[in-house]
Chain A
Amino acid sequence: MSNSLLLSINELKTYFFTSEGIVKAVDEVCLGINKGEVLGLVGESGCGKSTLALSIIRLIRPPGKIVGGEIWFEGEDLLSKSEGEMRKIRGGEISMIFQNPMSSMNPLHTVGSQIAEAIELHQDAQKHELKAMVVDMLHAVGIPDPLRRMEDYPHEYSGGMCQRAMTAMALSCNPKLLIADEPTTNLDVTIQAQILELMKRLRRELGTSVLLIGHNLGVISELCDKVAVMYGGKLVEYSDLTTIFEEAKHPYTQALLESIPRLDIETERLRIIPGTVPRLINPPPGCRFYPRCEYAKSICSKEEPPLTEIGQGHSAACFLYTSKRRTKSPT
């Protein structure tokens, strides 16, 4: 498997140095994405998903800082790249789609010129070629009448069309990895379905690897091959899609799954995970889920459970499964 590994994150630590203390937004996370694979990254708001995404393309702004770990992309260490080299990678090799499509575009430039700008940044193209490429991209993401609509300003697009255009922009340079940070969160359900359909199609046709971030397990289950669950800046469980949905091991993953409505299982009430995500400022020792965990043992408040392989390609960080056998497995 390792020869087809596209991105590998090793013990990444991204901390925010605020006046109140150090926020460990991403703490020793290990993850890998293979070529052509779609990895879903799930977790509640504020658990460090977006920080992890921004760390990959090194767009963490002060007071945040990547303080440790490695990010390998196609055999190269992204953390040792210069800013100029990173700029070539951003948009060219790894591109990103953001949560709020309507505000992801500069209101003063036409949609077409913004996509053209993205292409121009990474490819040498003549002016007329550029226009044709923009039309192609808009066509590919299903914008009707792209020749005309490329001259429109972002406010003349609907939310769904903006997200399509953003997707077009992100894919315009054929990136090897697409990071989609909750691409459907601010869209209504029918548009969500359209965007998901679009992403499925593009994935099938272009074979781009995707890191799909979301808290909506329904969306994740539509698209992903593998799922990683984050909690409080830590990776708590990692496995392929079916395993996560059928035999989730970590109590947090289980709780998360029980909290989504399902048609195939009859339940009276949806499960609620009591409490909130812990503040990540100087977190106490031990498992970060421990205060909300129904299986909490005494060891959980003292020691941090390591991420342990508990099955074929399935690992979880919980003392229920470690039995003191410490084998760290970076995916």
Chain B
Amino acid sequence: MTKRLREESEEETEEVYEPSRATRLFIIWRKLKTSKLAVAGFGIVLLSSAAALLAPIIAPYGIEWMGYSGLPPSTAHWFGTDSLGRDMLSLVLYGARISLYVGLAAVFLEIVIGLAIGMTAGYFGGAVDEALMRLTDLILSLPTLPLLVVTVTLFQAYSIHTIVLVMGVFGWPFMARVARSEFLALRETTFVEAARSMGASSGRIIMRHILPNILSTVVVIATMDIPWYIFWEATLTYLGFSDPSSPSWGVLLERGYYALGINWQGWWMVAFPGLALFFTALGFNLFGDGLRDALDVTTRGR
């Protein structure tokens, strides 16, 4: 019976509409578009990414350039100059490079470590789950700031990479917990059992049937955590645990703060990096929120 049917349908199959990767992205974008806030968030994210990527091209002065120090915003220096006489606009643009790198790299580490641990605990359960979750609790129970300060100090090298590494290594517990709980719920679903009854292996079930279902949660947590990491990097550099020569927004804020402290002049040294930080954080949060809705296939946005 199936033979006969196959012959009939042979010619027709050529023109089957199959959503390619591009159309899928388009569908996601179309759904994202329905929320103004999400689009605004996406715009901000794009803007700060562009600033980071194009900093060497669009920055009016390099970070090495020095002029008069402490100039207020003017047409020559839109954001003013800092206490060393560097152009604030250029510094903020270059700062985006470092801050975004910190946020994205640390979140990448968080996703990799958090998912691996959460998936293992949730899928295999039992003693493995117990051991991994107690480790998670242990890390969660440590106060973040002293932990970061102590470990960064232990490394003896205050570089941006050290900070990323330390934040990533201690940032995964929340991701792991969420991944675990989602895995626990999903591995009991009928469709996972059905997949198993069709002869799918554990690996296939994890990668094809469970992981895509928790992707939207992971994306949301990740986008919300990016500003969190940028803030922590700013905090650490503000406290002096970073490479002062790399102008991250945190370093700029720290310097601006000292300048403010001297004579209560130079609000622009704090305001512009602060606003950049604030808007980037806001952008990622809004974008993440919108992305969660857009990734839901049950609404196709037709």
Of B200, B201, B298, the contact of A153 (CB 8 Å cutoff): B298
Q: Is B76 close to A, CB under 8 A?
A: no
Residues of chain B with a CB closer than 8 A to A59's CB: 193, 196-197
Residues of chain A with a CB closer than 8 A to B209's CB: 106
A162-200 contacts to B (CB < 8 Å): 166, 169-170
Question: CB distance B297 to A95 under 8 Å?
Answer: no
Q: Which of A89, A109, A136 neighbours the largest number of chain B CB atoms within 10 Å of its CB?
A: A136
Question: CB distance B199 to A90 under 8 Å?
Answer: yes
| Proximity string of chain B (57-88) to chain A, C-beta cutoff 8 Å, 1 when within and 0 when not | 00000000000000000000000000000000
Question: CB distance B190 to A100 under 8 Å?
Answer: yes
Question: CB distance A95 to B2 under 8 Å?
Answer: no
Binding site for A on B (CB under 8 A): 1-2, 5-6, 9-10, 12-13, 16-19, 126, 189-191, 193-201, 208-209, 212-213, 297-298, 300
Number of interface residues, chain A, beta carbon within 8 A: 46
Question: Given A89-B199, A100-B190, is A108 in contact with B9 using a C-beta cutoff of 8 Å?
Answer: no
Question: CB distance B13 to A147 under 8 Å?
Answer: yes
Residue of B nearest to A108 (CB): B212
Q: Is A65 close to B, CB under 8 A?
A: no
A104 to B191 CA separation, bound complex (whole angstroms): 4
Question: CB distance B197 to A91 under 8 Å?
Answer: yes
Question: CB distance B213 to A106 under 8 Å?
Answer: yes
Of A87, A121, A136, the contact of B2 (CB 8 Å cutoff): A136
Q: Is A67 close to B, CB under 8 A?
A: no
Of A57, A62, A105, A150, the contact of B191 (CB 8 Å cutoff): A105
Question: Given A117-B208, A151-B16, is A140 in contact with B1 using a C-beta cutoff of 8 Å?
Answer: yes
Q: Is A203 close to B, CB under 8 A?
A: no
Question: CB distance A136 to B17 under 8 Å?
Answer: no
Residues of chain A with a CB closer than 8 A to B17's CB: 148, 151
A113-134 contacts to B (CB < 8 Å): 117-118, 121-122, 128, 131-133
A139 to B17 CA separation, bound complex (whole angstroms): 17
13 contacts between A and B (CB under 8 A): A90-B196, A91-B198, A92-B199, A106-B212, A108-B297, A117-B208, A118-B198, A121-B200, A135-B9, A136-B9, A147-B16, A151-B17, A205-B1
A285 to B193 CA separation, bound complex (whole angstroms): 34
Question: CB distance A87 to B194 under 8 Å?
Answer: no
Residues of chain A with a CB closer than 8 A to B213's CB: 106-108
Residues of chain B with a CB closer than 8 A to A140's CB: 1-2, 5
Q: Is A210 close to B, CB under 8 A?
A: no
Q: Which of A90, A108, A131, A169 neighbours the largest number of chain B CB atoms within 10 Å of its CB?
A: A108
A324 to B199 CA separation, bound complex (whole angstroms): 45
A88 to B199 CA separation, bound complex (whole angstroms): 6
A81 to chain B, nearest CB (A): 12
Question: CB distance B13 to A135 under 8 Å?
Answer: yes
A89 to B13 CA separation, bound complex (whole angstroms): 30
Residues of chain A with a CB closer than 8 A to B19's CB: 151
Residues of chain A with a CB closer than 8 A to B126's CB: 62
B204 to chain A, nearest CB (A): 8
Q: Is A137 close to B, CB under 8 A?
A: yes
A89 to B198 CA separation, bound complex (whole angstroms): 9
Question: CB distance A87 to B13 under 8 Å?
Answer: no
A108 to B295 CA separation, bound complex (whole angstroms): 10
Question: Given A107-B297, A117-B208, is A169 in contact with B198 using a C-beta cutoff of 8 Å?
Answer: yes
Question: CB distance A132 to B6 under 8 Å?
Answer: yes
A218 to B297 CA separation, bound complex (whole angstroms): 38
A130 to B194 CA separation, bound complex (whole angstroms): 20
Question: CB distance B197 to A96 under 8 Å?
Answer: yes
Question: CB distance B13 to A131 under 8 Å?
Answer: yes
A91 to B193 CA separation, bound complex (whole angstroms): 12
A107 to B201 CA separation, bound complex (whole angstroms): 19
Residues of chain B with a CB closer than 8 A to A109's CB: 208, 212
Question: Given A57-B197, A91-B198, A122-B199, is A147 in contact with B9 using a C-beta cutoff of 8 Å?
Answer: yes
Q: Is A98 close to B, CB under 8 A?
A: yes
Residues of chain B with a CB closer than 8 A to A133's CB: 2, 6
Question: CB distance B195 to A106 under 8 Å?
Answer: yes
Question: Given A136-B5, A137-B2, is A166 in contact with B199 using a C-beta cutoff of 8 Å?
Answer: no
A54-84 contacts to B (CB < 8 Å): 57, 59, 62
Of B193, B298, B300, the contact of A98 (CB 8 Å cutoff): B193
